[in-house]
Amino acid sequence: MTWNLFHQIAIGSGLVLISVLLSGAIFFALEILMARSHLWLIRRPHLPKLILVLIISVLAALGMITVSVWVWAIAYYKLAVFVTFEASLYFSLVSFTTLGFGDIILPPEWRILSGMTAANGFLNIGMMSAVVLETLRVVRKNQLGS
């Protein structure tokens, strides 16, 4: 019993770490893109460029969430928690976004992972919101400063 608990915590912690690292890589790519576009972004007209930055940063955030959900889904499927990949992906998405419909649940020997999936999603979604807002803030500040 105790071994299974620590096993789940170790697996969940590893998946959270992978999720955060992959999200960080996407953020780093966004940072490089914004740095390379700096001179273009600060030239007038500002509004269309700000809208483009919003779209790109939201797509990057969506990419971060998508990658993380797939990491969890692949893990659930490889651990044979669910019979189909579709069920693994569905459960991962519903748990990651903290919706928790309850129509599919984990077997008791894996239920700690559902809470870790939700915690990972909660933290990642907050981080994604911060990325979008910070990207817009920096671009707008640079536009007004030029």
pLDDT digits (tens, 9 = 90+) for 93-114: 999 998 888 899 999 999 999 9
pLDDT score of 2:
75
Distance separating alpha carbons of residues 77 and 133, to the nearest angstrom: 34
Q: What is the pTM of this model?
A: 0.90
- Secondary structure of residue 124 in the 3-state scheme: helix
Alpha-carbon dihedral sign for residues 27, 124, 41, 54: positive
- Cβ-based neighbour number of residue 7 at 10 Å: 13
Residues of the chain with pLDDT under 70: 1, 146
Side-chain half-sphere exposure of 109, counting CA atoms within 13 A: 9
